[in-house]
Chains A and B, each alone.
Chain A
Amino acid sequence: MARKLRFIIPILIFFIAWEIIARLPAVPEYLFPPFSVVLKRLYIEILRGSLMKNALLTIFRVSVGYFLGAISGITIGILSGISEKFNEAISPLVFLIYPIPAIGWIPVLMIWFGISNAVPIIAVLICAFFPIYLNTVRGVRSIDNSIINAAKTMGAKKAVLVKKVILPLAMPNIFTGLKLESGMSLRTGIVSEMLAIPSGLGFMLMKGESLIDVPLMFSVLLVIAIFSIIIDFVIRYIERKVLRWQN
């Protein structure tokens, strides 16, 4: 309970300070609306249905991109971790492509795929893939050799070894990558929508900017913040369940 309060109290103080500062006579409301006005606008947008529709679209795009990035990062990471030859073939490509920011691909993706869900999904996939891949390789490499050898002498063939020993033991590192990339994926998804697609939370932000509708922009930012907290909570919950042997 005390821990929850320590988390909630600073946030409450922040919202109160926001409300007070925004109501100062020197601050124009159309540029910096009070928190209560933003909440009211959020309520109206929810009732209209447009916010929920756009939020669901963003969640769908980010989730699919993140899931594909995680699956491919973990799979290729495990292959790199267990096979030196595979790693030698793939690591030069990784070090060539990894420094390119995922949002740098958006103009290219727009030309390739036009205005479609593929643009944010692939941008998020690229964003999620590399850190998850690198953490998976690190996780596989950090497994004590004697544990792998023990499993081999017990009769474990490669598929069983990967499924029952290597993957579970690389999980602590994999979760480090998954946690790191959950926030980054959401940010990349929203930036993609701002640049490439007339739907989603990113698009709503751009719409607010073109109409100088600051309360709308703040209500969208509030939704994004809530999503980030929920995503982080879900991943941490799964991590606790999967890595209960570490607790």
Chain B
Amino acid sequence: MAELGLRIEDLSCRILKNISMSLNKGEIGVVLGPNGAGKTTLLNTISGIYESESGKIFLNGENITNLPPEERNISYIFQNLALFPHLTVFENIAFPLKVKKEKNINETVEKFLRKLDIENIKYKYPLKISGGEKQRVAIARALVTSPSLLLMDEPFSSLDFEMRRFIRHEFMRIIKSFSITTLFVTHDPYEAEEVGDKIFRIENGKIKDENLKIKNRILVTSLKRISENTVLVDVGGFSLVAPAPEKNSDSYYIEFGAEDIHISCNKPPTPTLNTVSANVISYKDIDRRKIITLDVRGKKVVADVPAYIWDEIEGTRLFITIKYRDIYLKEAKNDL
């Protein structure tokens, strides 16, 4: 059974009224709601910037409700990223480590600079770097202390649509590779769908509903590196090309969202990356969507597709495609 990362019980503070929610360790939760719904207040209360009026907050089983912000081991990426303008990129990333009097600060910072590909700007001040680079610095600074929880308050809102899509994907790939429990705030439903494992809709300070997104997880039997950033993953019955994992491990599983599966009844005329045949086992209707359970060469896979796509499918044999960038390789522990 998955371990609980964040648990909130009957939390009230300012506009927030009796908020209850939970996230498993490593899960990404999205708080979706209009402006003024209480999204930022929720993050500020969890981080300890605001004192809660009632209720409890548990992080990895520990009650942190009455702890000051500096003792909660939470990283917070603000809407404006809140980089320190008077510190260089290197000093910004080193700041939380220095404050916590960690050892080997230089080595740790250098490691994160390399990981986020921002070594070339380490001596620059935030006023001298681009928007995308600022985002990377903010992630590095947030992750460098290995926080128990990462809070993100609409960190992409200042970017234009195209840039936002690109950076968001990059951002989430990095965060997923670290398996940190994350609570992400947005008012954009498309962003919420793309980013979150769970979506919490908030209105007037109350959680309206909680929507669990279905994830497929399959244990990897063998892994072959094709290039520096790409691997060929064999999961027993079929193979997929995926981005290389961030961490080295003895065993991995692949993860992809049920919504990230594309289905068609015809085999593509030319060989296509990550397309395999599948048989329909069962399906059910939820709203205007179909949740289809498939047998993909002996492996059970769940697809979540809009109903109108399903209506075009004939028979029980079809082809599924999973995009390279929608596949995540994660270290397999005992949670599969």
Q: Is B3 an interface residue (CB 8 A)?
A: no
Contact assessment for A164 and B82 in the assembled complex, using a CB-CB cutoff below 8 Å: no
Q: Is A8 an interface residue (CB 8 A)?
A: no
Contact assessment for A149 and B76 in the assembled complex, using a CB-CB cutoff below 8 Å: yes
Partner of B82, one of A150, A160, A171: A150
The A-contacting residues of B in range 60-76, CB under 8 angstroms, are 69-72, 74-76
Contact assessment for B86 and A168 in the assembled complex, using a CB-CB cutoff below 8 Å: yes
Contact assessment for B100 and A152 in the assembled complex, using a CB-CB cutoff below 8 Å: no
Nearest to B48 among chain A residues (CB) is A153
Contact assessment for B86 and A152 in the assembled complex, using a CB-CB cutoff below 8 Å: no
Kindly state the separation between the CA atoms of A171 and B87 in the bound complex, as whole angstroms: 13
Kindly state the separation between the CA atoms of A3 and B44 in the bound complex, as whole angstroms: 51
Q: Is B336 an interface residue (CB 8 A)?
A: no
Mask for A82-93, Cβ within 8 A of B = 1, else 0? 000000000000
Contact assessment for A153 and B79 in the assembled complex, using a CB-CB cutoff below 8 Å: no
Contact assessment for A144 and B86 in the assembled complex, using a CB-CB cutoff below 8 Å: no
A179 vs chain B, min Cβ distance (A) = 19
Q: Which residues of A contact B48 (CB under 8 A)?
A: 152-153
Q: Which residues of B contact A154 (CB under 8 A)?
A: 70, 75, 95-96, 99-100, 141, 145
Q: Which residues of A contact B135 (CB under 8 A)?
A: none
Contact assessment for A165 and B84 in the assembled complex, using a CB-CB cutoff below 8 Å: yes
Contact assessment for B100 and A155 in the assembled complex, using a CB-CB cutoff below 8 Å: yes
Contact assessment for A153 and B99 in the assembled complex, using a CB-CB cutoff below 8 Å: no
A237 vs chain B, min Cβ distance (A) = 18
Partner of A169, one of B70, B86, B95, B141: B86
Contact assessment for A144 and B82 in the assembled complex, using a CB-CB cutoff below 8 Å: yes
Nearest to B87 among chain A residues (CB) is A245
Nearest to B88 among chain A residues (CB) is A245
Q: Which residues of B contact A246 (CB under 8 A)?
A: 85, 127
Partner of A156, one of B75, B99, B141: B99
B236 vs chain A, min Cβ distance (A) = 43
- The residue among A150, A152, A156, A164 with the most chain B CB atoms within 10 A of its own CB is A150
Size bracket, chain B contacts:
20 to 34
Q: Which residues of A contact B253 (CB under 8 A)?
A: none
Q: Which residues of A contact B79 (CB under 8 A)?
A: 146
Contact assessment for B86 and A153 in the assembled complex, using a CB-CB cutoff below 8 Å: no
Contact assessment for A245 and B86 in the assembled complex, using a CB-CB cutoff below 8 Å: yes
Partner of B95, one of A144, A164, A245: A164
Contact assessment for A144 and B80 in the assembled complex, using a CB-CB cutoff below 8 Å: yes
The B-contacting residues of A in range 225-247, CB under 8 angstroms, are 245-246
Contact assessment for B49 and A152 in the assembled complex, using a CB-CB cutoff below 8 Å: yes
Q: Is A151 an interface residue (CB 8 A)?
A: yes
Contact assessment for A245 and B70 in the assembled complex, using a CB-CB cutoff below 8 Å: no
- The residue among A149, A155, A156 with the most chain B CB atoms within 10 A of its own CB is A155
Q: Which residues of A contact B141 (CB under 8 A)?
A: 154
Nearest to B49 among chain A residues (CB) is A149
Partner of B75, one of A147, A153, A245: A153
Contact assessment for A156 and B82 in the assembled complex, using a CB-CB cutoff below 8 Å: no
Q: Which residues of B contact A4 (CB under 8 A)?
A: none
Q: Which residues of A contact B96 (CB under 8 A)?
A: 154-155
Partner of B70, one of A147, A155, A164, A171: A155
Kindly state the separation between the CA atoms of A164 and B96 in the bound complex, as whole angstroms: 11
Mask for A108-148, Cβ within 8 A of B = 1, else 0? 00000000000000000000000000000000000010110
Kindly state the separation between the CA atoms of A193 and B96 in the bound complex, as whole angstroms: 51
Q: Is B310 an interface residue (CB 8 A)?
A: no
Q: Which residues of A contact B75 (CB under 8 A)?
A: 153-154
Q: Is A157 an interface residue (CB 8 A)?
A: yes
Using a CB–CB cutoff of 8 Å, the interface residues on chain B facing chain A are 44, 47-49, 69-72, 74-76, 78-80, 82, 84-87, 95-96, 99-100, 125, 127, 141, 145
* 21 A-B residue pairs with CB within 8 Å: A144-B80, A146-B79, A146-B80, A149-B44, A149-B47, A149-B78, A150-B82, A151-B99, A152-B48, A153-B48, A153-B49, A153-B70, A153-B76, A154-B141, A155-B96, A155-B99, A156-B99, A160-B99, A168-B86, A245-B86, A245-B125
Using a CB–CB cutoff of 8 Å, the interface residues on chain A facing chain B are 144, 146-147, 149-157, 160, 164-165, 168-169, 171, 245-246
User: Known pairs A156-B99, A168-B86. 11 more at Cβ < 8 A?
Assistant: A150-B82, A151-B84, A152-B49, A153-B69, A154-B96, A154-B145, A155-B99, A169-B85, A169-B86, A171-B86, A246-B127
Q: In the A-B complex, list the 4 residue pairs whose CB atoms are closest, starting with the nearest.
A: A154-B96, A150-B82, A146-B78, A155-B70
